[in-house]
A and B are shown apart, each in its own frame.
Chain A
Amino acid sequence: MITISGLHKYYGALHVLQGIDLSVEKGEVLSIIGSSGSGKSTLLYCINGLEPIQQGQVTVDGVDVHAKGTDINKLRQNMGMVFQQWNSFPHLTALENVALAPRIVRKKSRAEALDIAAKQLEHVGLADKLNVYPNALSGGQQQRLAIARALAMEPGYMLFDEATSALDPELVGEVLDTMRLLAEEGMTMICVTHEMSFARDVSDRVAYFHQGVMEEIGPPAQIFGDATSAHTRKFLANVR
């Protein structure tokens, strides 16, 4: 379970997150929507400790992410992250991209790591691309590669930071299908997204962020059908 309480985050003088309280249960899919600059992506970075926080607390399975003594690398092994700009490692083949972390972080044997990698690539539909370098893959394929890479660490949580925003429109579907598949398999997911249909159809809850504040959170039917906040209604009217 991920618990966030009283979280404040500043970039210099900019108050990016202004007191966020949120918890995500095991097996839950939470989508976070909102306009650019509302702090959604920053929240993800704060959850896995890629960004420091100034006030409040984030705990993952009871461990305080930002406490001094926390082994952040160990914690991150349990939280896969997928980025907007897929960030595949260009000097490694698809198979090596996925096998690297299991081998050097989880200390698996080479054979075992390659085996895990092949399985995960098959999982995301890239079984025929094992020995291809990322520059020969489409954006959608690279993003699925990034998902496989995160899954190879067998994480309990997956964080998606606008995983489809940088893709050509015709490639969005294949990545969303992969994310749907994960959700069906019971993965705990936090998805920052601009894909309203995904948020509506796949999530258990949807949160709307506005200027560093979580304006509203609830089941998709409530957010999309009966939002209480005027900001939420305005945002949804604009994106539809």
Chain B
Amino acid sequence: MNYNFHWKPVFNNLPGLLEAGMLTLQVAVLSMLLGICIGMALALIRLHVRGPLRWFATTWIEVARNTPALIQLFFFAFGLGALGLYLSPYTIVLAGLTFNNAGYLAENFRGGLQAIPETQIRAARSLGMTAPQAYLRIVIPQVLRIVYYPMTNQMVWAVLMSSLGMLVGFRELSGETQALASTTFRIFEYFSVTAVIYYVIVKIFLGAAHLIARRLFRY
């Protein structure tokens, strides 16, 4: 063991790493927001719709949950590329993460939706609310509380999963680290610092999630 640590080049490039960290956070948050909307739609379709649309939702959930996230990203990068549709690295990662998030969240939401008694919907409908109003105002707010903490897990997973972006040419935190490290050969130092940045991003996020929960769920 006579490896000499050289941290200086890493710290010189810290602003660049932090900027890439923001990109990581951004793509994770966006993919999560989109994933929540699509995941809820998939869960509702699976519970209430028959026919091709339900088949589509089931397939989405099955593929998203049972194939590696990396291969899902590759589909948006190279699969669509082979069909002549070229997406930017940012779009590929956003689409890939959204696809994965929506599939996992749909399963969480299904459990949450089934936990709300049918009588809640009846009570809402008896007041003259339409079915969409009953879902939007009565069912979904209660579901979101039930699935909130499982949902934060998925968000952490989205932050960490975004590191796969480096394999499709996306310069998020890992991609940026890889690029900088390869010019200085301080690979261990770079990725150590990057790991800390990931940790901090996730911690900040979980702290924020906790505060939001305290504000939203007062009952």
Expressed in whole angstroms, the minimum distance between the Cβ of A232 and any Cβ of chain B is 30
B126 and A48 contact, CB distance less than 8 A: yes
* A181 proximity list for chain B (CB < 8 A): none
B219 and A105 contact, CB distance less than 8 A: no
* B126 proximity list for chain A (CB < 8 A): 48, 50, 76, 79-81, 83, 150
Bound CA–CA A104/B133 (angstroms): 8
* A240 proximity list for chain B (CB < 8 A): none
Contact string against A for B residues 41-65, beta-carbon threshold 8 Å, 1 for contact and 0 otherwise:
0000000000000000000000000
Bound CA–CA A6/B137 (angstroms): 37
Contact string against B for A residues 49-91, beta-carbon threshold 8 Å, 1 for contact and 0 otherwise:
0100000000000000000000001101101110101010111
Bound CA–CA A73/B129 (angstroms): 6
B127 and A153 contact, CB distance less than 8 A: yes
Interface size on A, residues (CB 8 A): 27
* A79 proximity list for chain B (CB < 8 A): 126
* A87 proximity list for chain B (CB < 8 A): 117, 119-120, 122-123
Total contacts A-B at CB 8 Å: 64
B123 and A89 contact, CB distance less than 8 A: yes
Bound CA–CA A162/B130 (angstroms): 25
Q: Is chain A's interface secondary structure helix, strand, loop, or mixed overall?
A: mixed
Smallest Cβ-Cβ distance to A48: which chain B residue: B126
Residues of A participating in the B interface, judged by any CB pair closer than 8 Å: 48, 50, 73-74, 76-77, 79-81, 83, 85, 87, 89-91, 100-101, 104-106, 133-135, 146, 149-150, 153
Residues of B participating in the A interface, judged by any CB pair closer than 8 Å: 117, 119-120, 122-130, 133, 137-138, 141-142, 145, 217-219
Of the A-B pairs whose beta carbons lie under 8 Å apart in the complex, a sample of 28, sorted by A's number, is A50-B122, A50-B126, A73-B125, A73-B129, A73-B130, A76-B125, A76-B127, A76-B128, A79-B126, A81-B123, A81-B126, A83-B123, A83-B126, A87-B122, A89-B120, A89-B123, A90-B219, A91-B217, A91-B219, A101-B129, A104-B133, A104-B137, A105-B128, A106-B128, A134-B219, A149-B127, A150-B126, A153-B127
